[in-house]
């Protein structure tokens, strides 16, 4: 089944404790992206990647890192999480245009 998976689905952590949210797709898509969704702000793009080893900042990259060492994986790294990074995070992949979204990761930073 073609899908985008994210792990974990739910995470509660404390300020400053490094964490990684994994994202994997099995559709051989070149393009992958991370978004955060907050009430009243819609979805905002954090980082995106056009292909392996090619990443670029989206609209709200501060406080986040990404890597794209393999085509299928695109982890999101929070080196020192802060409470303002409490949000619902989505990973997505795309070949041309249409994006396929993962189920989301709800992150709470205390």
φ/ψ (deg, to 5) at 23:
-140, 135
Least separation in angstroms between CB 47 and another protein: 11
Q: Which is nearer to another protein, 10 or 69 (CB)?
A: 10
CA distances, 102 to each of 23, 25, 76, 77, 91 (Å): 8, 9, 13, 17, 5
Map residues 7-46 to x or -, x wherever contact with another protein holds by CB under 8 A.
------------------------x-x-x----xxxxxx-
Q: How far apart are CA 92 and CA 70, in angstroms?
A: 15
Residue 52 C-beta-side C-alpha neighbours within 13 Å: 5
Asked whether position 90 contacts another protein by CB under 8 A, the answer is: yes
Among 19, 61, 86, 101, binds another protein (CB under 8 A): 101
User: What does the DSSP 8-state code read for residue 95?
Assistant: S
Q: Which positions lie near another protein, rule CB under 8 A?
A: 4, 31, 33, 35, 40-45, 48, 50, 58-59, 88, 90, 92, 94-104, 106
């Amino acid at each position: 089944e073609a899908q985008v998976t994210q792990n974990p689905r739910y995470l509660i952590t404390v300020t400053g404790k490094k964490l990684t949210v994994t994202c994997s797709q099995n559709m051989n898509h070149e393009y992958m992206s991370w978004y955060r969704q907050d009430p009243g702000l819609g979805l905002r793009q954090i980082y995106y990647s056009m292909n392996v080893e090619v990443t670029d900042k989206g609209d709200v990259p501060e406080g986040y890192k990404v890597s794209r060492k393999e085509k299928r994986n695109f982890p999101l790294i929070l080196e020192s999480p802060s409470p303002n990074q409490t949000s619902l995070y989505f990973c997505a992949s795309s070949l041309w245009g249409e994006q396929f979204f993962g189920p989301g990761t709800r992150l709470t930073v205390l």
